[in-house]
Amino acid sequence: MAKQDPIELYFFPTPNGWKVSIALEEMGLPYEMKPVMIGQGDQFKPEFLAFSPNNRMPAIIDPNGPDGKPISVFESGAILQYLARKTGKFYGKDERGRVAVEEWLMWQMGGLGPMAGQAHHFRGYSEEKITYAIDRYTNEVNRLYGVMNKRLEGRDYLADDYSIADMACWGWIFPHERQGQDLNDFPNLKDWFERLSERPAVKAGFALGLEMRGDLTQDTEASKKAKAVLFGQKAQE
């Protein structure tokens, strides 16, 4: 097999970013991390918007795309599907297996990620503590954890085998305490999470660029500026 040029991974260490860094590690694909400092507004720069028009990371540029031509991909779920097709790994052994993978990948994209993200925001980042919003999203995340816990009863993974669906979900379970959840209430989910956390590729994907993270819950000037960029909130005087 010819040597592959590294995939450019436009990245910041968040649950959505970890999906792709973990997948690249699991698939053994060469890649080069390109930091996207989301608290400083890198995601709004024209050169980034040229291939990630929703001003969100992660995104990739694969110089070894279809027919040998470069291709860019934005949206974490689409990236996972592209990489799985490219390598023939972690996407089910047949059509039934692929359907199961896609079901749980879409479940994460449409449910777990957005609801957990809102829980993070209203529980930890919002300057105004809105009880209704906190309860609404904390309870919905709790329901989704229950769905996942039930799915994992008597099985090791969300689909038939370890797949991109598991990679997509792991990062959103990692900050469970910030979502107001206790993994002891979900024993099947807890077992799944702990097993995946021991995988070398998961550890490596999670560790990527971890030093770039800051704590936006801290009452610092840097935190206020980052929140103004990320959430459109005005920094306090």
Q: What is the pLDDT of residues 116-134, one digit of tens each?
A: 999 999 999 888 999 999 9
Q: Are 179 and 141 in contact (CB under 8 A)?
A: yes
CATH number of the domain encompassing residue 14: 3.40.30.10
pTM (2 decimals)? 0.90
Instruction: State whether 84 and 69 are in the same domain.
Output: yes
Is 189 found in the same domain as 108? yes
Per-residue confidence (pLDDT) for residue 236, from 0 to 100: 30
pLDDT at 225: 55
Is the pLDDT reported for residue 222 higher than 90? no
Average of pLDDT values for 36-54?
94
Residues 214-222: what's their mean pLDDT?
54
Residues 104 and 120 in one domain: yes
In this predicted structure, what is the pLDDT of residue 235? 33
User: How many structural domains comprise the chain?
Assistant: 2
Q: Do 135 and 225 belong to one domain?
A: no
Each residue's pLDDT tens digit, 166-180: 999 999 999 999 999
Considering the chain, what is the average pLDDT of its residues? 91
Q: Are residues 177 and 103 in the same domain?
A: yes
The range of the structural domain enclosing residue 187 comes to 95-197
- 175 in the same domain as 206: no
> Residue 33's beta-bridge partner residues?
9
Are 184 and 108 part of one and the same domain?
Answer: yes
- Let me know whether 16 and 81 are in one domain: yes
Res 231: pLDDT: 55
Q: Which has more pLDDT, 211 or 202?
A: 202
pLDDT digits (tens, 9 = 90+) for 68-115: 999 999 999 999 999 999 999 999 999 999 999 999 999 999 999 999
Given a cut of 90, whether residue 164 has pLDDT beyond it is yes
User: Are 189 and 149 contained in the same domain?
Assistant: yes
Rg of the Cα atoms in the chain: 18
Q: Residue 164 belongs to a domain with what CATH number?
A: 1.20.1050.10
| Helix pair angle (164-173, 187-197), 10° resolution | 100
Q: Does residue 227 have a pLDDT over 70?
A: no
Tens of pLDDT, residue by residue over 182-202, are 999 999 999 999 999 999 999
Residues 166 and 207 in one domain: no
Mean pLDDT of 127-147: 96
3-state DSSP call for residue 189?
helix
Alpha helices in 108-214 (DSSP H): 113-120, 131-151, 164-173, 187-197, 200-207
